Amino acid sequence: MLKPQLHQTSQPTKTLIPWSTTNSFTSGEILASFPINILSKNLRQKHKKKNFRVHYYAANNTKAVLTSTEKSSGVKAVVTVQKTVEGTNLGLSRGLDDIGDLLGKTLVLWIVAAELDPKTGIEKPSIKTFAHRGRDVDGDTHYEADFVIPEAFGEVGAILVENEHHKEMYVKNIVIDGFPHGMVHITCNSWVHSKFDNPEKRIFFTNKSYLPSQTPSAIKRLRERELVIMRGDGFGERKQFERVYDYDVYNDIGDPDASDDAKRRVIGGKELPYPRRCRTGRPRSKKDPLSESRSAFVYVPRDEAFSEVKSLTFSGNTLYSVLHAVVPALESVAIDPDVGFPHFPAIDSLFNVGVRLPPLNDKSTMLNIIPRLIKAISDTQKDVLLFETPELLQRDKFSWFNDVEFARQTLAGLNPCSIRLVTEWPLKSKLDPEIYGPPESAITKELIEQEIGGLMTVEEAVEQKKLFILDYHDLLLPYVNKVNELKGRVVYGSRTLFFLTPDGTLRPLAIELTRPPVYDKPQWKQVYCPTWHATGSWLWKLAKAHVLAQDSGYHQLVSHWLRTHCATEPYIIATNRQLSAMHPIYRLLHPHFRYTMEINALAREALINANGIIESSFFPGKYAVELSSVAYGLEWRFDRQALPEDLISRGMAVKDSDAPYGLKLTIEDYPFANDGLVLWDTLKQWVTDYVNHYYTETELIESDTELQTWWTEIKDVGHGDKKDEPWWPELNTPDDLIGIITTIIWVTSGHHAAVNFGQYSYAGYFPNRPTTARAKMPTEDPTDEEWESFLKRPGDALLKCFPSQMQATKVMAILDVLSNHSPDEEYLGEKIEPYWAENPVINAAFEIFSGRLKELEGIIDGRNADSNLMNRNGAGVMPYELLKPFSGPGVTGKGVPYSISI
């Protein structure tokens, strides 16, 4: 790039400011020893009312020279840098940086013109200067720079930043003042690496958004260059300061180098399809070349990591502390990790006595980070793990025992995404009968008609849409024998049938549990029903415990992990690789992607990894992620991640142009669907207003090369194992784009909130949602001794079936953290993004969006107060608030953040 040198034509040429891009000055060294702001101030005064002309010299040390035929003006740039905790540390590099700050030589800026020179057709010279450290404002540090800008420079297109500190710095924004067209805002919110780590300058564009075809001529090259940087070269191990986005399979769940027991299959590919994760480039395992080795550092692109504020206040440190301090402390005090609770009062003691912990490292920090969990007994100063009483238990201690609550939670609980309409009778498996046994269900027509008291025939119930099912039969049956070989694990294929009563609530009718043939034993299946008979009543309770364990595992592995965290990561990668940071769709999606890759990396490290929390405490054991892969292959479709299509596919709604939101619900009082559809419609209207502003013609969609490549990469690479599926939406029109974007942001906001933030409220008292079953049904091939023991002490059979003390307390500690809102949580519609605020049309659309979200708060409150809606109102019933948009910090059971940030 040519660089201007300033000189006065009335005098011999004299260098006023050295513009060399090298780190040392090649001329003007005496002047360079003065603070740069003084030089710039003198320049402004000296040339304030004179005309200058700019000459260009194509030499290595090209400089801008002002001549007295063209005007110039002085502008000031203020760079806001967030103070870091590391920045307060003492050390050689810190001292050198402080000295550099005093000399004004640690931050270099280049202002880049938006348009090419109309006379030459080439880029105008960028204007360079050092920024000097100014005052601290509200905890941030301002770096200030003064520029002399030729009048013909035009509008600013971008600014280049070089960080000459030895440490990275977090730049929040840059404001340039003094241009005749007004103040220029550049929102950064990004880590800027040290030039000693990477000599590449950082590129930041102004807040004005551009489609590729509308990009100002002089910054097209920078737009393309930035995307090249973000894509990387696909080689080598990624470094912490890098911002490279690339794809890989899930080959880092296992740790074969640690032990043979920790080896896991690679997830992702033809055999086990799965979305892709971010590539880290870590070396391959020594024992298994298909697997990636594990290390303490898990790369995510630098700007995807938690901000220091977020890490210190909550999300990063809290979850990390529970995983790496609390869980090991629990394990160290467990005499037998497989022992269950001896009686129900022992379960209750978790909320009033707690679990005594050994001395904790950095005790004061732990007490501050996890005040809800870690308590100190004042008289002994011993630390205990003491759980808050979940809201469900506060409202009704015995609700978990209740069939009404069991059924209600399929519509208004933690996993409202599995219940579906029965559309065919008789029920029949689609699995190979040669392997899994007879496909016919043991739930007969006669049994169902008896359970519904002869109100109607089964055929009439199906026709009138009265029968609903939780069906985990075909998904789980292939894993039954494998899981049952694991110590302390029992699973069945299950079907649970419900009847829709005239008052709009569901009544459970029957549970079928099935074990496929194993060794010399034939298929075993049995049906359990609610009954007044003592033995049958206890068998029903045990059957419910098995179903709930399966539903808990499905919820965590599929409804939660797969459908939100896992499926979203490819969207984030593709967005950063293919959409420029100045693309309006990038800026629309960006708030919905914050921190997701970091939390996913932490999950791979300690939650879904081999022998991690999920494997050790949920029913599939070491087959957990593999099972979610099977569910992905069988069930996941992008089009059905949209709430309306999800409801229609499960038979929970039908299209009806006369109904609100164009859908008629099969169960009118379905809280997740009722509230979700209002939120979906609100999101869709906001996206519609936004998209239609930038894409005024269909041709703009088709000609948007970045957008088309983005969508192709999501389908062909990010979700490449399903690239040939016919259900992928086309991207040819603004309406196509609106549907795609609304689906993505619904998944990251509404759907995730519905399945995440109620975890402690519903599952904190684990008998309501056990995560695993440790004992078989008493009726499955019992010995005389086993049957006699069950008849004498059926309550003990239930306790033996529930998770062990170690499993339960580990999960409870994790769920408490996962249900917690960070103090700096960013809720939908609460705060406008700077890019949106600068555009009057988008600003107005956001105000409408925010207002509708506030209206939704009132709508939900009104519904929860309506006594006719018995799935969300009644004695001891928890109101359904999971889709209320706003919340305070903590475990509140409400609040819809923009992104999957925990």
Q: What is the DSSP letter of 428?
A: B
Residues 863/869, Cβ–Cβ less than 8 Å: yes
- Cα–Cα distances in angstroms (integers) from residue 814 to residues 518, 551, 749, in the given order: 35, 18, 21
Token pair, residue 896, equals: 């819809």
Q: Please list the helix, strand and coil fractions of the chain in percent, rounded to the nearest 5, in that order.
A: 40, 15, 45
Which residue, chain included where needed, has tokens 């990668």? 573
Q: Residue 518 has what DSSP assignment? A: B
Please provide residue 73's backbone torsions phi and psi, each rounded to the nearest 5 degrees.
-145, 155
CA gap 322, 608 in Å, rounded: 15
Number of CB atoms found within 10 A of residue 486's CB: 16
Contact 54, 7 (CB under 8 A): no
Residue among 345, 344, 238, 318 at smallest CA distance from 602? 318
* Rounded Cα distance, 621 and 618, in Å: 6
218 close to 157: Cβ distance less than 8 angstroms: yes
Report phi then psi at 229, rounded to 5.
Answer: -60, -45
**Which stretches of 326-379 are assigned E, i.e. beta strand?**
355-356, 374-376
Calpha distance 306→900 (Å, rounded)? 12
How far is Cα 707 from Cα 575, in angstroms, rounded to an integer? 9
Interacting residues of 653 by C-beta distance below 8 A, sequence separation 6+ = 644, 647, 663, 664, 665, 666, 673
- As a whole number of angstroms, the distance between CA 801 and CA 549 comes to 10
Edge-first strand listing for the sheet containing 383-385 = 355-356, 383-385, 374-376
On whether the CB atoms of residues 453 and 445 are closer than 8 A, the answer is no
Per-residue burial over 817-853, b if 16 or more Cβ lie within 10 Å, else e, is bbbbbbeebbbbbbebbebbebbeebeebbeebbebb
3-state secondary structure 591-636: HHHCCHHHHHHHHHHHCCCCCCHHHHHCCCHHHHHHHHHHHHHHHC
Residue 513, classed as helix, strand or coil, is strand
CA dist., res. 771 & res. 709, Å (int)? 41
Q: Are strands 54-55 and 65-66 parallel, antiparallel or unpaired?
A: antiparallel
Tokens 């911002």 -> residue:
243
CA angle 880, 495, 432 (to 5 degrees): 140
Buried b or exposed e, range 799-811, using 16+ CB within 10 angstroms:
bbbbbbbbbbbbb
Q: Which residues are catalytic?
A: 560, 565, 752, 756, 902
SS3 198: coil
Query: 729 exposed, middle or buried (CB, 10 Å; 0-12, 13-18, 19+)?
Result: middle
For residues 836 and 846, give the distance between their C-alpha atoms in angstroms, rounded to a whole number.
8
Q: Please answer whether residues 611 and 327 qualify as being in contact, where contact means their C-beta atoms are separated by less than 8 angstroms.
A: no
Handedness of CA 634, 636, 638, 642 (dihedral sign): positive
Cα–Cα distances in angstroms (integers) from residue 773 to residues 399, 622, 762, in the given order:
20, 15, 18
Round to whole Å and give the CA distance between 801 and 200: 59
